[in-house]
Amino acid sequence: MSLSERDLRVIWHPYTQMQTAQPPIGIVRGEGTCVFDEDGKRYIDAVSSWWVNIHGHSHPYIAQKVAEQLLKLEHVIFAGFTHPGAVELAERLLAILPGNQKKAFYSDNGSTAIEVAIKMCLQYWHNKGEQRTKILAFKNAYHGDTFGAMSVSGRSAFTAAFDSLLFEVEFIDLPTDDNIENLKSQISDLKSQLACFIFEPLVQGSAGMIMYEARHLEALMAHCKGEGVLLIDDEVFTGFGRTGKPFACNHVQTQPDIMCFSKGLTGGTMAFGLTTCTQQIYDAFLSDDKMKTLFHGHSYTANPVACAASLASLDLFLDPATQQSIDRIVARHRAFAEKIKGHQRIANYRQTGTILALEWQTGGNTSYFSGLRDKLYHFFLDKGIILRPLGNIVYILPPYCITDAELDYIYSAIEEALDTI
């Protein structure tokens, strides 16, 4: 019996209608940009396995550091105890983040990093004796699938079954030249009620790789700062080079109060989450009153093995060769987009850093449930490429180790799809 057949007997997959979905492909090995199925077929992982894998699969350096850590300490309770990896990772990461980030709080995935940030903001005002309970977020946002993260995400098919249970959020449009002053006015009108503004910086990933300009984000962030509204920068997707710079916030001047990380944090090796904050926020929880404690934690908080993977990934990320690879991918994407931008099947294309999104012309609106999605997905799988379209939007988000030859193969397959699908 194949791995795929065994899977169907016992597994429930995410974001999958199990009644109509094709059997899953059994992957048994990964190396560099590629993964290999149980029949030996090779697939180029052009979406970094849900955007987590930044250095390539089964990277020997990360594997070595993880193996070494497993023989030292696999886990220890993180309430009342600490360990070298957690301290070193916090020290090194804070050193490359905006200068106002002073404390690190560990969790275990992107959604929990967001939950921590939301709770920090809401309890910050509670501890200070102010009733600020509203949260500002962008329409079409996606911040995760736990209830707090869903609440600050746009209402959609992802949240439909739970909408009546989600807390109220003030949603605003993405900023443009035409609406920026109106958005500022909305924020000013609500400032006494707003606990925070949470945002995906520059790119709304799950919404269809929707992109907006750094200068507009800067204007909103600066205005929120001026009005005393805390800023949560969700770097779960954009962190660690995806936008061409180390972090998306490096494209703006105003510094966020809180930052959230996961995905590329461990280089895609394992689940991990991290939320950083300013000294000001941390200090609001210091008190002789134990009720001002941040009552949040996870069994695997600051897991030593995940810290080891993150430290190894950080070593690779800070190697100048990695930035050179990022710059190379950015330039290659830009050249490909220029080449195909006039194609009659391209309704729109957009790029931020290593993220290139191509919107297929469908004659209708962009939709996550576009029937074109399955045709494109299986076309690329047949070519040995993992590209997982968001409806009629195909995006390329490769590991930084991808070669020019692999990129050319992906670009060529996309051109063929444009001419035949």
d(CA 234, CA 118): 11
Catalytic residue flag (residue 263): yes
Q: Which of these is catalytic: 43, 106, 124, 142? A: 142
- Enter the tokens of residue 251: 């494209």
- From 129, 151, 121, select the one nearest 260 (Cα to Cα): 121
* Region for 38 from its dihedrals, namely left if φ exceeds 0, alpha if ψ lies in -120 to 50, beta otherwise: alpha
- From 209, 206, 205, 233, select the one nearest 220 (Cα to Cα): 233
Reported as half-sphere exposure (CB side, CA atoms, 13 A), residue 137 has a value of: 24
Catalytic residue flag (residue 15): yes
Catalytic residue flag (residue 233): no
Within its chain, how far is the Cα of 47 from the centroid? 12
Contact 17, 41 (CB under 8 A): no
Return the bridge partners of 275, or none: 105, 260
Q: Which of these is catalytic: 134, 234, 257, 411? A: 234
**Pairing of the two strands 258-261 and 230-234:** parallel
Contact 387, 407 (CB under 8 A): no
Catalytic residue flag (residue 377): no
The residues annotated with a catalytic role in the active site are 15, 142, 234, 263
